[in-house]
Structure 1
Amino acid sequence: MADSRDREFIFVFTGPDGSGRKTIADSVGSTLGLTKVLSYATRKPRPGEVNGQDYHFITPELYEELDASGDFIESVTINSNQYGIRDNDIRRSFRNNGCIYLIVNAEGADMLKQIYGTQVVRLFIYADRGTVEERQRQEGISGDVIEERLSRYETDMAAHARCEHAFENYDLAHTVFEITNTLEQYLQRNLEERD
C-alpha cells in the first residue's frame, strides 16, 4: 500500500493572462475539495476580485517589510506591481490539507518546482493570442492594460514545455472536466465510486 504522503501534491496553475487559469483552477479546486493558497499583491483589486479570496491585497510598504524579512518563497514585479507567495502559507496549508493549489505566473511555478520537486504538478492553461485578447476586451479591460499583458504572451507561452500538463481552454466545462480527471489520477480517490 502506498504511503499517503505519496499522494500529497501542490497543483500549480499557470499560463498567460486571459487563458482562464483562475476560473479553471477555482472550479477544479472546488470540485476536488482542494485548499487554495493565495498570493500577495500590491496592486488594486480588479473588478470582481475579493481580498482574501483572489489575493491578499496589501500595501507596497507591508510587501517590502515581508520581503525584507524573507517571508516570500517567490517574489516578482510585473507592471510595477509586486506579487509573492509566503513560504509559511504553503507549508501550513500543505501540512494541514495534504493537497493544495495555487495560481501563479511561470516563474512562480518553476520556483515551486525547484523547492518541492515531484510534489509539484504544473498545469499550463492556454488559448491562442486572439482568444486571450478578446476575453480581456469582454471583461472591459482597457486597451493599454491588454497591450501590456499581451507583450508577455510569447514569454508566458514558452513555459508550456516545462509543465507536466498543458490544456487548451476554449470550452470551460470541457477543460475543467479534463483537468479534474487528470488530477484524480494523482489523488487516486476514484470519485466515480462515491455517492
Structure 2
Amino acid sequence: MNNQPDRKLIFVFTGPDGSGRKTVADSVGTTLGIAKVLSYATRKPRPGEVNGQDYHFITPELYEQLESSGDFIESIALNGNRYGLRGIDIEQRLGKGGSIFLIVNPEGAQLLKEQYGDRLVRLFIYADRRTVEERQKESGVAPGIVQARMNQYESAIAYQSSCEHAFENYDLAHTVFEITNTLEHYLQRNLVERD
C-alpha cells in the first residue's frame, strides 16, 4: 500500500490554438484525477464552452479590478481579449492536496515556469499547421479568429523546445495514453507495472 500523498506539481498544457490542448488536458486530468485551475477571460464563451468549466468568463471591468489589485500572476492580451490566472486559485488548489493542471498559451506557460520553477511541468501539444487550421474551422471558430491564431502558429510552435515534454496530437486516445503514462512518473503513485 502506498501511504505517500501525491506530489504537489503543476502540469501546464500549452501549444498552438487548435492543437487540441484543452481536450487532451481535460481527458488526462479526468483520467488521473487531477484538479483543474481555470483562467479568467473577458471574451464571450464560444459554442460549447461553459462558464466555470472552460474559463471564468468575466466583464472587462471586473478583469481590470482584479488586475489593478494584483490578483493575476499571469495576464495577457490576445486578439482583443484579456486572459489571466489568479495566484490564489493555484495556491488554494495545491493546498487541498495533490497536483493540478492548467491550460495556457506559450506566453502564459513561460511566465508560470519563471514563477514556479521545478514544481511546474510544461506539456506541449501540437499538430501540423493544416490540421490545426482545419480543426478550428470545423469547430466553428470565426474566420477572423482562425486567421489571427494561424498568424501566431509559428511563434507558438517555436516554444516546443522550451517545454519538458512534447506530444503530437493526431489521435486523442493515443495522446492521452502517452501523457497519462508520462505524468504517472511524476506523480509517483506506484501504479507502474511490476517486473
Alignment TM-score, normalising by the size of structure 2: 0.94
Question: 1: distance between equivalents of 2:6 and 2:47?
Answer: 39
Say whether 1:128 aligns with 2:128: yes
State the identity as a percent: 68
- Which residue identity lines up with residue 126 of structure 1 in the other structure? Y
Distance 1:134 1:182 in 2: 28
Partner of 1:131, secondary structure, is helix
| 2:105 corresponding residue in structure 1 | 105
- Aligned residue for 2:73, secondary structure, equals strand
Show CA shifts across 1:54-105 (max 9, x none).
Answer: 0000000000000000000000000110000001000111111320000001
Matched-pair contact (CA < 8 Å) for 2:126–2:169: yes
* Count of residue pairs the alignment pairs up: 191
Q: Distance in 1 between matches of 2:56 and 2:6?
A: 30
CA distance in 2: counterparts of 1:143 and 1:69, whole angstroms: 35
Matching of residues 79-158 of structure 1 within 5 Å: 79-158=79-158
Asked if the contact 2:125–2:168 (Cα under 8 Å) also holds between the matched residues in 1, the reply is: yes
> Is this contact kept in 1: 2:6–2:97, CA < 8 A?
no
| 1:75/1:85 contact within 8 Å kept | yes
For 1:52, what is the secondary structure of its paired residue? coil
User: Deviations for 1:2-42, whole angstroms, at most 9, x for unmatched residues?
Assistant: xx688221000000010000000000000000000000000
Distance 2:178 2:167 in 1: 8
| Cα RMSD (Å) | 1.5
In 2, distance between residues paired with 1:19 and 1:68? 32
8 Å contact 1:35–1:97 — kept in the other structure? Answer: no
Q: Which residue number corresponds to residue 163 of structure 1?
A: 163
Provide the C-alpha distance between the structure 2 equivalents of 1:55 and 1:35, rounded to a whole number of angstroms. 14
Report deviation, 1:192: 5.5
Extract unaligned runs of 5+ from structure 2: none
Contact 2:37 2:93 (C-alpha < 8 Å) held by counterparts: yes
Deviation at 1:128, TM superposition (A): 0.3
Following superposition, the deviation at residue 190 of structure 1 comes to 3.2
Structure 1 runs of 4+ aligned residues shifted over 6 Å read none
Asked if the contact 1:10–1:100 (Cα under 8 Å) also holds between the matched residues in 2, the reply is yes
